[in-house]
């Protein structure tokens, strides 16, 4: 991992946790990050954002807050959706755009994802552009093509060189399955993604953090953080265990 990019350890809680659990997980993440040189972020369900924001702020604000999704429209008749401006107002710094479950369960297209990114940027949020291939696409030898198509769509939403961006490579077949990619597979995909970013902005490519996600746990995180171009992790299931998530926050800081 390049030392100039601070590792970002992010927990995506998905649709999990009670209000009380959310507050406890947030406090535990803040505690784990104390004394660490890493960055950490949590992505709670929308219903708990205000609670988690309060807990994180009272713990010093080092752990960033993120939304799991935002609408591609700024406001209006979109029942069930959350706007980027709403996320920003409750204290989010990040928002996931195009998480695999948004794409494959809720049917978001690349155009929807680009629209969400545009809204995120307009609201002052840092979009975390999530990309990843299905097992069918990988077995058909289409991984690179699929990833670069998704990356291109996301990059198209950027307004200028100063727009903030994080990218997460999450192979669909590795999410929630216990079958993580190998660090070698992750490094290959991350290199493709970084090279694509470099085609239009070499400086952005150097600074953009590319996270790996998909069945990351305390036992395998070190393997990912040790390979080139992996700048952190986006963690689902294992982030629901505050002890495991804390271990991963601390693990990254040693690079061990």
One residue of 56, 216, 221, 227 binding ligand PGA per CB under 6 A: 216
Is residue 213 within the footprint of ligand PGA (CB under 6 A)?
Answer: yes
215 contributes a contact to ligand PGA by CB under 6 A: yes
Stretch that binds ligand PGA, among 27-35, 150-158, 181-189, 207-215 (CB under 6 A): 207-215
Only one of the segments 30-38, 62-70, 209-217, 222-230 lies at the binding site for ligand PGA (rule: CB under 6 A); that segment is 209-217
Taking the CA atoms of residue 79, residue 82, residue 86 and residue 92 in that order, the dihedral angle to the nearest 10 degrees is 160
Does residue 99 have an active-site annotation? yes
Name the residue number minimizing CB distance to ligand PGA: 236
Burial of 178 (0-12, 13-18, 19+ CB in 10 A): exposed
Which whole-number Å values give the CA distances from 127 to 117, 157, 220, in the listed order? 6, 10, 26
Q: Is 190 a catalytic residue?
A: no
Longest CA span, the chain: 49
Query: Residue 12, interface with ligand PGA (CB under 6 A)?
Result: yes
Which residue, chain included where needed, has tokens 């996320």?
A: 87
The alpha-helical segments, DSSP class H, found in the chain are 19-33, 49-58, 84-89, 100-104, 110-122, 135-139, 143-155, 183-200, 202-207, 221-225, 242-254
Residue 66 makes contact with ligand PGA by CB under 6 A: no
Residue of 214, 232, 242, 246 that binds ligand PGA (CB under 6 A) = 214
Which of residues 33, 151, 165, 175 is near ligand PGA by CB under 6 A? 175
> How many chain residues interact with ligand PGA (CB under 6 A)?
13
Residue 127 CA to residue 121 CA, distance in Å, equals: 7
Stretch that binds ligand PGA, among 47-55, 67-75, 117-125, 236-244 (CB under 6 A): 236-244
Binding site for ligand PGA (CB under 6 A): 12, 170, 175-176, 213-216, 234-238
């Amino acid at each position: 991992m390049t030392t100039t990019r601070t590792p970002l350890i992010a927990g995506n809680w998905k649709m999990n946790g009670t209000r009380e659990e959310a507050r406890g997980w947030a406090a535990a993440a803040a505690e784990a990050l104390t004394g660490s040189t890493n960055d950490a972020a949590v992505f709670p369900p929308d219903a708990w954002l205000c609670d988690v924001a309060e807990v994180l702020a009272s713990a010093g604000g080092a752990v960033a807050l993120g939304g799991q999704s935002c609408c591609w429209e700024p406001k209006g008749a979109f029942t069930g959706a959350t706007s980027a401006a709403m996320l920003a107002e409750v204290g989010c710094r990040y928002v996931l755009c195009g998480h695999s479950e948004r794409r494959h369960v809720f049917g978001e297209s690349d155009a929807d994802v680009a629209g969400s990114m545009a809204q995120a940027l307009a609201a002052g949020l840092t979009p975390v552009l999530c990309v990843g291939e299905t097992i069918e696409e990988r077995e058909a030898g289409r991984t690179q093509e699929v990833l670069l198509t998704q990356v291109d769509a996301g990059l198209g939403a950027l307004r200028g060189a100063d727009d903030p961006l994080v990218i997460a490579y999450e192979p669909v077949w590795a999410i929630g399955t216990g079958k993580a990619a190998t660090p070698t597979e992750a490094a290959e995909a991350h290199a493709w993604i970084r090279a694509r970013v470099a085609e239009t902005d070499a400086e952005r490519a150097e600074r953009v953090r590319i996270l790996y996600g998909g069945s990351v746990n305390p036992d395998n995180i070190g393997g990912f953080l040790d390979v080139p171009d992996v700048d952190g992790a986006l963690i689902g299931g294992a982030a629901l265990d505050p002890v495991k998530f804390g271990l991963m926050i601390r693990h990254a800081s040693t690079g061990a």
